[in-house]
């Protein structure tokens, strides 16, 4: 029996979304520790206008690439907020290298 090539991409996407939802439901994301943040060394910037970003976040052994908002940062780390696949608001600190800025609509990447 063959595969449905017409809908394969859509089916793969839905399977991936369900797996992401299962991995994040009721689980808090892994965040950097206070020791890793070194807030006593690096100045903290908080913004009244969070910036749209894409970032890699971890839920234990599972890594997800999420659309998020950067709400604070240091030279090495970024504080993020995002809505998990299960609809929960999650917050986490991640390394700055795990974050990509999203261009404004109509702007080049």
Residue 107 within any structural domain of the chain:
no
Provide the number of structural domains found in the chain. Answer: 1
Residue 90 within any structural domain of the chain:
yes
Residue 2 within any structural domain of the chain:
no
Residue 109 within any structural domain of the chain:
no
Largest CA distance in the chain: 61
Can you give the pTM of this predicted structure? 0.74
Domain residues for the domain of 75 are: 8-101
Q: Which two tokens stand for residue 99?
A: 């974050």
Which residues lie closer than 8 Å to 13 by C-beta, 6 or more apart?
none
DSSP alpha helices (H): ranges in the chain?
8-24, 34-37
Residue 35 within any structural domain of the chain:
yes
Q: Could you read off the pLDDT tens digit of each residue along the chain, which spans 109 residues?
A: 555 566 555 544 454 455 555 566 678 999 999 999 999 999 999 999 999 999 999 998 899 999 999 999 999 999 999 998 888 999 999 999 999 997 555 444 4
Residue 1 within any structural domain of the chain:
no
Closest CA to 98 of 82, 49, 108: 82
Residue 106 within any structural domain of the chain:
no
Residue 108 within any structural domain of the chain:
no
The helix/strand/coil state of 96 is helix
* Cβ–Cβ under 8 Å, residues 34 and 57: no
């Amino acid at each position: 029996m063959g595969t449905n090539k017409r809908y394969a991409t859509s089916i793969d996407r839905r399977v991936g979304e369900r797996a992401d939802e299962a991995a994040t439901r009721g689980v808090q994301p892994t965040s950097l520790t206070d020791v890793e943040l070194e807030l006593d060394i690096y100045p903290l910037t908080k913004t009244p206008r969070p910036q749209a970003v894409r970032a890699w976040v971890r839920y234990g052994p599972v890594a997800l690439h999420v659309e998020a908002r950067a709400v604070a940062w240091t030279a090495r780390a970024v504080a993020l907020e995002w809505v998990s696949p299960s609809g929960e608001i999650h917050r986490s600190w991640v390394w700055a290298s795990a974050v990509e800025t999203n261009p404004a609509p109509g702007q080049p990447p």
